[in-house]
Structure 1
């Protein structure tokens, strides 16, 4: 009788364990992992975070594809158990340190888009050389598709005080996810912000000829940031393990004079 009771108890325990495993497996399968991002490519769809005011959150996603365009706001992007969400409360976005698009309009052909950019530049900046103007306009377009290239150039405006460099850089905030270092007290956050958001780094008063720690850090970002596999390494302060930060992306500099660098 005792043996039968023991067998019965063992059988019940096995069934219970099996049920618990099934439940745990289902929970694990259904568990969602949330990842914050300002953009994502899934299949033929390109999702971008857009900062809006007529939604309950400060930011949503919009997407476009080769077959369909959807301008409705999406609070998240689902990819299996992964759920991508925008940076709804990030102070860099809320305070326009990193500038996101605020809307999407009907697409125009390239010539019409170039004409709009030229009109904007003519309104706010005087650029006497038409070749220089065409280079700047082309660079603005490049910033929005830079991830399609394995390497990209930088744009630099050189001139004395009062020649309009800073005004030009303000106009160039139309570049993709522009970040201007005037808003940063040191170089320490720059590579972390680029790694998190990507986009266009704009460096005003980029007088990099002086050997300061900040300038050396920025030079390192510039040397590595022209290539799609460009990273800089920093040690984790707790574990001392090296952490790679991606710094690839367009960069625009304004300075009074050029500087020499063998790299």
Structure 2
């Protein structure tokens, strides 16, 4: 067999049901391939033959990403007992090195499990540690990231191109510290990773040069788990909705948390990565989303983000804590929307649709009602021209000109009702709070 048949491999699901994973022994500074057979047997091999003459070999141990620990790997699959015992081991490890709130500790432990089987789901939530400097964000990223699936450690100051290439090649967990980007070309590129990376089938297209120095588009796979540390929040609510967030620095640090990162952290993390590799082998083809575990009375986007974790949570208390967190986020969103300009316009518009005889609602009537409420609340008056723009661009409603008068046709009443529910407002009710 010719040397060209050898394919350096990181991870592969073979047609015969075998699972292949790259492992690295830091003591021997050697790589190998861990194989999990359909009958449950696991073993380490220097290469794997595949139908068609392909020969899978491990990435070299001298690979800079592996040798420097920029990407962390298990060294061998190790039995973990059962799922409850594995979760207990993860929580003990996290509690030793980082101070998390009890509820988020459960979320973080399940996120580690999720990262090792994320391909079984069509969505990937992101975990975030947010707070000022010196509040433990970086330690939390290091501790949790070190037990996630093929973690790749980067920072907001990293060059963009390697992030795309490493994510595409290793298909692991991106651990991104200091993610408060300034408005640059790098900002836009990294934001694309976060916007596209939480759902299957949304690669990022970038132009790269081939060996003939010709530029051609290439699709980079960025789907997968991501851990992020930052001080502020993103301005885009759609991007914000992809994160489950732990606010750091809101309480005194526990006395037993070491100030400097202990050398034992990486030793303990390797032990857990080895157990989690076996978890992956046994569960990748078994786990799946369970819609029955979605949080009640929470909008689909929030449930969609959290459902992979909820599906892995067998403990009712842990699952209930995450559902409660989603309910609180839903309440915050409704409160924010109820105070937005869209809410005031929808109050006036839905009231007119509810009280008027069947037919179109003149834009002038919406303006009149809104300005009448503005007198009571001290809000600035609006014009018919502004209102027409607002209805079309901000609320995506259709307006028509009929007999020289601009109106919202009755066919838009259903959209108005749906928007009013989304913004948490009722017809004729205006929030007058300052």
TM-score of the superposed pair, with normalisation by structure 1: 0.82
Matched, 1:157 2:132: no
Q: Distance in 2 between matches of 1:66 and 1:154?
A: 31
Aligned pair partner of 1:113 in 72, 86, 89 = 86
Unaligned runs of 5+ in 1: 1-29
Q: CA 1:69–1:183 in structure 2 vs 1: closer, same or farther (change >3 Å)?
A: farther
Pairing 1:202–2:175 present:
yes
Q: Deviations over 1:106-132 (max 9, x none)?
A: 1321100000010011111111x3211
1:34 aligns with 2:6: yes
TM superposition shift of 1:75: 1.1
**For 1:78, which of 37, 49, 59 is the aligned residue?**
49
Q: Is 1:249 aligned to 2:215, yes or no?
A: no
Q: Is the 8 A contact 1:234 1:242 kept in 2?
A: yes
Contact 1:37 1:197 (C-alpha < 8 Å) held by counterparts: no
**What residue is the counterpart of 2:151 in the other structure?**
178
User: Does the aligned pair in 2 maintain the 1:226–1:248 contact within 8 Å?
Assistant: yes
Contact 1:60 1:75 in 2 (8 A): yes
The equivalent residue for 1:169 is: 141
Alignment partner, residue 16 of structure 1: none
The equivalences for 1:203-242 within 5 A come to 203-208=176-181, 210-237=182-209, 238-242=213-217
Q: 1:246 to 1:257 in 2, by over 3 A?
A: same
The whole-number CA distance in structure 2 between the counterparts of 1:93 and 1:170 is: 16
Change (3 A) 1:215 1:183: closer
Shift of 1:197: 0.6
Counterparts of 1:138 and 1:112 in 2: how far apart (Å)?
Answer: 12
SS of aligned partner of 1:236: strand
Residues 164-217 of structure 1, C-alpha deviation per residue, up to 9 Å, x if partnerless? 111001101110100110497412210100111110000011103x21222211
| C-alpha distance in 2 between matches for 1:231 and 1:183 | 20
Please give the root-mean-square deviation of Cα atoms over the aligned residues, in Å: 1.9
Bigger proportion of residues as strand: 1
Superposition pairs of residues 63-142 of structure 1, within 5 angstroms: 63-71=35-43, 73-80=44-51, 81-88=53-60, 89-127=62-100, 129-142=101-114
Equivalent residues of 2:156, 2:177 under 8 A apart: no
Extract unaligned runs of 5+ from structure 2: 239-434
2:137 and 2:229 in contact (8 A); partners too: yes
User: Do the aligned residues in 2 keep the contact of 1:97 with 1:183 (CA within 8 Å)?
Assistant: no
Give how far 1:54 is off.
6.9
TM-score by length of 2: 0.51
Moved more, 94-103 or 57-66: 57-66
Q: Give the C-alpha shift of residue 76 in structure 1.
A: 1.1
* Residue 25 (structure 1) aligns with: none
Stretches of 4+ aligned residues off by more than 6 angstroms: none
How many pairs align? Answer: 230
The DSSP-based 3-state class of the residue aligned with 1:181 is: strand
Q: Deviations over 1:119-163 (max 9, x none)?
A: 011111111x32111111111110000011111111111111121
Shift of 1:221: 0.6
Separation in structure 1 between the aligned mates of residue 171 and residue 34 of structure 2, nearest angstrom: 17
